[in-house]
Structure 1
Amino acid sequence: MVVLFPQQLQISSTLPVVYWLVLIVFIDVAHVYSTLYRTYFNPDKSLRRGLLLTVPLICYVVGVVLHSFDAIAFWRVLAYLAVYHFIRQQYGFMRLYSRKESSGYYAMLIDKIAIYTATIYPILYWHAEGNRQFNWFVENDFFILPALGWLLDIGNCLYIVIILAYLIKEVVLYNRTRQFNLPRNILIAGTFLSWYFGIIYFNGDLAFTTLNVISHGIPYMALIWIAERKKPNPSARGKNVLWRAIFNKYGLLYFLTVLVVLAYLEEGLWDGLVWKEHKSIFQVFNQLPKVEDKQLLSLIVPLLALPQSTHYVLDGFIWKNRSAKI
């Protein structure tokens, strides 16, 4: 789609309203709330209650302190936390698709280096080159460091070398085992393509958002859905009528509806109180006054961003907990 519509997707620095609603609200913001099914909504109580209480509290306090000091400092920390989360998700999916392989230490090491190269190099390019028509969250949320330009020459060579090393490893592995891990290869290839073309090759908000949001948000929601459906049914889950309705064969609609409603409500509050940029799709929230006071914004902005920051932090725990494995 990005290749077929170059003027609209590759160069444009703006997002059409409907496209923004689908990508940002119904996919990007909605996927944040899917964490609820693994944590706060989950009758299994797999994670410690103390963790579920302290993580949002700490995130909010740190957010208020950062925003009070400097608004861009708040958005910068949140942006880098998001980047870390996005990168780690790709690594996590790679490990998920490799869990049944016994390919050996060096093959696994090459996989690890490849997935991190696919994600970190485009971010390095973004920092060194800087001339991008898009931001992660807000303008100037990334440090632009032209002094790192010399690293790009080295990075270009390493980028190609690592791709070749991965391809050679796959050929050797196939000759030895006569097996080809299609999901893992699709994931790694897709990560290389989406991050390279979304950030480096094309310089447009539509291209970046399309490739970045869809390849991150939809797989994450799918993982939550599949993981919770596969789990055995202890007494707490078996007695929970709502949980059985959501995670049965036809419950996907309920699952997604909850996410979409919560995402729309959050973005409506953002637009009504802070941005005032999409009045046509958040008419119910148009009556809310735009907050101008810096001290009040330092309390409201971290609160509205709390689902996001909590999602980033908790995601580091919910897939490692022994009692919450897939």
Structure 2
Amino acid sequence: MTTAGPDVLAALPAGRRGAAHGGFLWGRGVDLAVFGGSAAVALGLAALSAGGALPAWGFLLFVVGVDVAHVHTTLFRTYLDPEELRRHPALYAAVPLACYAAGVALHLASELTFWRALAYVAVVHFVRQQVGWVAVYRALAGERSRVDRLLDDALIYAATGWPLLHWHAHPPRAFQWFVDGDFVSAPWLAAAVGPLGAVYAALAVAYVARAIQRARVARAPLNLGKHVVVATTAATWYVGIVATDSDFQFTVTNVIVHGVPYMALVFAYARERAVEAPRSLVARLLAGGLLTFLGLALALAFAEEMLWDRLVWHDRPELFGGGGDDGGPLLGPRARALLVPLLALPQATHYLLDAVVWRRRHTRPAQARALGFRTAPEGGGGGEAGEARVSARSAPPPASREA
């Protein structure tokens, strides 16, 4: 979700920020439902499940309906917007071409090399998305201190990195990121799990202490959105990877908290963009509301997974037809080296573009508003090409915070 992701969500430059929803992206209730609610659903499903393999209904609901679908919602931020394509033509042409060329080269080296490279890129994408959400909430709350930034980043990297360390150090697991063996087996890392777990615990204590200090000494308002993201990241990564050993439990804790907030962000962006450009393709698609937005993403996700299953995997005929393991043509190595990177192109492109399009230099009015910042045309210039200016109105008092 897989995903960095948004790989890196970044706010606007210091002095040009302002919260439109009191320190929340879309409002207290919506933010808590999107971030806290998705984590609660994931953890609840993990707790209620007896474990085991992901059933067909779970694959359809969580993998196709959330994980793959969220990849395709990126289209609303990128390829469905002609003005965006005109602004960055080289980026949107070069990224998929580079991804495909690299994918073919890796697959020709070996199929496992391809999947291993894609898995580790995906992991970075997932981790960086959580770093990004925290960065946005820190900016909205006016936390400019370098201490806050370093502590937040360190804790998120620990909350995600320590479970990943445990995974690598304790093979085999009953789950994988993409395919069996895509993560390197490294039992020799087991000796580091305990000491680094202690470092993780110390960072968590320091984070709580810092939050208390800000509330009591600096009298800063409670940054509830940031705390929810940090807590749910720690809980879902621990439960899905360390506390349980099940494909079902890993999947629900992995994809729901990654995909749902991302889709919420892209939908918020698409609505803002539709207001800016009412005659654009994005606006015409968004005329149907959330159902159209989700319907297009789900249709593309189902079509993609059907191609994967019919042409490569042959393991879910109950969902996609075909004859299962013994049905359908089996491709040779060279054909697979050309086809597999092509089928993986949407997610590979998503990983790379997501590391760029949400960054500071790409933030324009619609994106700023979708991230919870008030914007207005700069220098009186409105329209689709206007640059973003963020009003300080409604912003919290500027407690120390990094840019």
Question: Normalising by the residue count of structure 1, what TM-score does the alignment of the two structures yield?
Answer: 0.92
**Per-residue CA shift, 1:22-61, capped at 9, x if unaligned?**
1001110111111111110013316511111111111101
**Per-residue CA shift, 1:87-146, capped at 9, x if unaligned?**
010011111111123332212221111111111111111111123110000000000111
Give how far 1:161 is off.
0.6
Instruction: Name the structure 2 match of 1:39.
Output: 78
In 1: Cα distance, 2:327 partner to 2:141 partner: 54
In 2: Cα distance, 1:306 partner to 1:282 partner: 20
Instruction: Name the structure 1 match of 2:306.
Output: 268
**Per-residue CA shift, 1:234-257, capped at 9, x if unaligned?**
4xx2222x4224335x51111111
**Which amino acid in 1 is paired with 2:126?**
F
Contact 1:246 1:255 in 2 (8 A): yes
Relative to 1, partners in 2 of residues 1:285 and 1:40: Cα closer, same or farther, differing over 3 Å?
A: farther
From 252, 256, 268, the counterpart of 2:294: 256
In 1: Cα distance, 2:323 partner to 2:68 partner: 18
Equivalent residues, number: 321
Aligned ranges 1:98-109 → 2 under 5 Å: 98-103=138-143, 104-109=145-150
In 2: Cα distance, 1:186 partner to 1:180 partner: 11
**Per-residue CA shift, 1:224-271, capped at 9, x if unaligned?**
11123234844xx2222x4224335x5111111110010011100100
Instruction: Name the structure 2 match of 1:314.
Output: 353
From 94, 97, 109, the counterpart of 1:69: 109
**Which amino acid in 1 is paired with 2:142?**
S
From 313, 317, 328, the counterpart of 1:279: 317
Q: Does 1:168 align with 2:206?
A: no
**Per-residue CA shift, 1:55-102, capped at 9, x if unaligned?**
111110111111111000000000000000000100111111111233
Question: Normalising by the residue count of structure 2, what TM-score does the alignment of the two structures yield?
Answer: 0.75
Contact 1:269 1:285 in 2 (8 A): no
Contact 1:128 1:145 in 2 (8 A): yes
Relative to 1, partners in 2 of residues 1:284 and 1:261: Cα closer, same or farther, differing over 3 Å?
A: farther
Contact 1:246 1:252 in 2 (8 A): no
Give how far 1:10 is off.
5.3
Instruction: Name the structure 1 match of 2:238.
Output: 196
Instruction: Name the structure 2 match of 1:49.
Output: 89
Unaligned residue ranges in structure 2 (runs of 5+): 1-40, 369-403
Instruction: Name the structure 1 match of 2:251.
Output: 209
**Which amino acid in 2 is paired with 1:270?**
W
**SS at structure 2 position matched to 1:238:** coil
Relative to 1, partners in 2 of residues 1:178 and 1:56: Cα closer, same or farther, differing over 3 Å?
A: closer
In 2: Cα distance, 1:18 partner to 1:199 partner: 22
**Which amino acid in 2 is paired with 1:58?**
A
In 2: Cα distance, 1:153 partner to 1:217 partner: 31
In 2: Cα distance, 1:190 partner to 1:2 partner: 10
Relative to 1, partners in 2 of residues 1:63 and 1:5: Cα closer, same or farther, differing over 3 Å?
A: closer
Contact 1:291 1:297 in 2 (8 A): no
Q: Does 1:128 align with 2:128?
A: no
Contact 2:306 2:320 in 1 (8 A): yes
In 2: Cα distance, 1:301 partner to 1:314 partner: 20
In 2: Cα distance, 1:45 partner to 1:244 partner: 14
Unaligned residue ranges in structure 1 (runs of 5+): none
From 207, 214, 238, the counterpart of 2:278: 238
Alignment RMSD (CA, Å): 2.2
Contact 1:35 1:224 in 2 (8 A): yes
Aligned ranges 1:147-158 → 2 under 5 Å: 147-158=188-199
From 139, 145, 151, the counterpart of 2:186: 145
In 2: Cα distance, 1:162 partner to 1:6 partner: 26
In 1: Cα distance, 2:45 partner to 2:99 partner: 40
In 1: Cα distance, 2:81 partner to 2:327 partner: 33
The percentage of counterpart residues that share the same residue type is: 36
Relative to 1, partners in 2 of residues 1:6 and 1:225: Cα closer, same or farther, differing over 3 Å?
A: closer
Contact 1:28 1:213 in 2 (8 A): yes
